[in-house]
Every structure is written in C-alpha cells, then in structure tokens.
C-alpha cells in the first residue's frame, strides 16, 4: 500500500517533467543560418556605356550625351556634354490669344548653356536590392559655356523694351539676333540620385533626380536692366512715365545680372552597355 502511494505521488511529477521538456523543445528555435548572397558587381556585367540624356528643369528642356566607364566593382566614372535652356526663375510666358505669339514680360536676352562635366557614380544597396533595380548616388562638375542674344530689338540700346505708338521695339523670333549675341564662360555641376532599370545589361535605361546649377563669374543679363521712372498722381489720359527735356524716357535700375542659376532636375538616359 505504501509503495502504491509513492508511485501515485511521483507519477504526476514525472509526467509534468516530460511535458515541460516537450514544451521547452517547442519554444526554443534553432539557430538562424545566414545564406550567403551572390552579389554581382558592375564589372561582371559590363565595362562601358553610352547614352542619350533628356532632361527637364526650371530652365526648360535639354539633351546631350553621356559616357560611363566602370572603374571599381560598384563605381563608374562619367563624362557628359549637354545643351540646355537658361532662364531666370521669375520668367512667365504669355501667349497672344489671336495670333499665338508668346511674350515674356521684362525679358532682355535668350540664353543657352553648354555644360561639359566629369563625374562619379556609386552604387547603393548592392547587397540588399535585386539586380534589376540598381540605385546610384552621383556628382559631377566641369566647365560650361553660355550663349546669350537679344530677346527684342533694342533700337536705342537703353535696356528697356519701348512699346509706344510712335516708337515700337519688336520681339525677335528665336532665330533673330544671333549676330548680336555673346559668349559667357563659367562652370556647372549636379548632384543626383539615380536608378538603372533592367536585367538586360546590354541596354542602358536610367532615371535620375537631382539638383543642377550654373555659375558665371561675369554674370548674364537675362531680364531687363532698366525700367521707366513713374510719375505720381497721373491724371487720366496722360503717360505714367517720366521724360527728360529732350523727350527721352527717364530710366531707373530694374533687374540685376545673374551669376548663379540653379534648379531641381529630372534626367532620363537611354543607351547601351558593352
């Protein structure tokens, strides 16, 4: 009888011990094994590339060409030459409803920029993101030239477009006034985040977002440098402008020439790798 009681006493303890070990085995997870990723490098897929750039920014549209050369496992060097519009950020274009002519108030010169830049692109997250989406950060800098020419025929060369009944200075079309243009020399640069798309490494398909800028130490006069001095309390039917004793407009300073031109920019590139 005593032995039976001992068995009945220890049997529940033994069963509880077995259940505890089973539960403990279920709670404890096996160690996580890291599976090595097969990370490919740029050099394994191509060595060089060339593409055509199409870009948009606050200056308008632009295009150009870009050469890429792989110099390290995940690094490229770039060289690019482009043609871009160049304008003041305050410009607004108005279109004549009847004749379709576009007018930009206060504009003095049209301008185009030609940046020649050398840069570097570094791939990001190569060990995390799959091969068909390759992220890059890049920067480029180099010399730039700009060509500016008159927006209107400034007959009296006073830096203001006059539009009176007896004296009218017309707006030049885009192909007029080139002979009166001048060249400007400076620099350009850009900072970008980019994405190369596709597993076909024979094709270059890229989209980039960034900031682009020009700097010209001698400045460019994009907007009108002068404006008429106005009269106070002008009676109806009289001119609001001030004239000197010879009948010439009295002018005062208006827009300053610009040295720095900067804008957010989006760039699309299409081309080939080899």
Is 149 a member of any domain? yes
Q: How does residue 3 score in pLDDT terms, banded at 50, 70 and 90?
A: low
- The C-alpha atoms of residue 182 and residue 260 are separated, in whole angstroms, by 18
CATH number at residue 258: 2.40.160.20
Better-predicted residue by pLDDT, 21 or 51: 51
Give CA–CA dist 274/63, Å, rounded.
22
pLDDT at 189: 98
Instruction: With respect to residue 10, please indicate whether it lies within any of the assigned structural domains.
Output: no
Banded pLDDT at 2 (limits 50, 70, 90): low
Give domain status of residue 62, yes or no: yes
Whether residue 23 lies inside any domain: the answer is: no
Q: What is the domain range of residue 78?
A: 39-273
Assess if residue 11 is contained within a domain. Answer: no
Whether residue 45 is contained in a domain is answered as yes
79 pLDDT above the threshold of 80: yes
- Give the number of domains in the chain: 1
pLDDT digits (tens, 9 = 90+) for 198-215: 888 889 999 999 999 999
114-170 tens-digit pLDDT: 999 999 999 998 887 777 889 999 999 999 999 999 999 999 999 999 998 888 999
Report how far residue 211's alpha carbon sits from residue 139's, in angstroms, rounded to the nearest whole number.
Answer: 10
- Among left, alpha and beta (phi > 0; psi -120 to 50; other), residue 67 is beta
192 part of a folded domain? yes
Q: Which residue has the tokens 């740029």?
A: 42
In a domain, 18, yes or no: no
């Amino acid at each position: 009888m005593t032995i039976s009681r001992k068995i009945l006493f220890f049997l529940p303890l033994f069963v509880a011990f077995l259940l505890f070990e089973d539960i403990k085995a279920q709670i404890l997870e096996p160690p996580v094994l890291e599976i090595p990723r097969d990370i490919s490098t740029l050099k394994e897929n191509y060595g060089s590339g060339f593409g055509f750039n199409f870009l948009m920014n606050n200056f308008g549209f632009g295009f150009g060409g870009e050469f890429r050369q792989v110099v390290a496992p995940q690094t490229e060097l770039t060289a690019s030459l482009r043609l871009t519009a160049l304008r003041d950020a305050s410009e607004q274009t108005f279109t004549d409803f009847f004749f379709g002519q576009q007018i930009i108030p206060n504009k003095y010169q049209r301008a185009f920029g030609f940046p020649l830049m050398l840069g570097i692109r570094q791939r990001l997250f190569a060990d995390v993101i799959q091969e068909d989406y390759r992220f890059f950060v890049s920067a480029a800098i180099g010399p730039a030239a700009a060509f500016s020419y008159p927006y209107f025929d400034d007959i009296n060369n006073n830096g203001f477009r006059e539009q009176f009944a007896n004296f009218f200075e017309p707006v030049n079309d885009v192909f007029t006034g080139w002979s009166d243009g001048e060249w400007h020399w400076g620099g350009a640069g850009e900072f970008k985040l980019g994405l190369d798309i596709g597993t076909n490494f024979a094709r270059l398909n890229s989209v980039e977002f960034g900031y682009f800028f020009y700097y010209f130490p001698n400045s460019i006069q994009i907007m009108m440098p002068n404006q008429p001095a106005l009269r106070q309390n002008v009676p109806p039917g009289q001119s609001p402008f001030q004239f000197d004793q010879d009948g010439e407009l009295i002018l005062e300073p208006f827009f300053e020439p610009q040295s720095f031109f900067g804008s957010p920019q989006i760039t699309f590139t299409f081309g080939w790798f080899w």
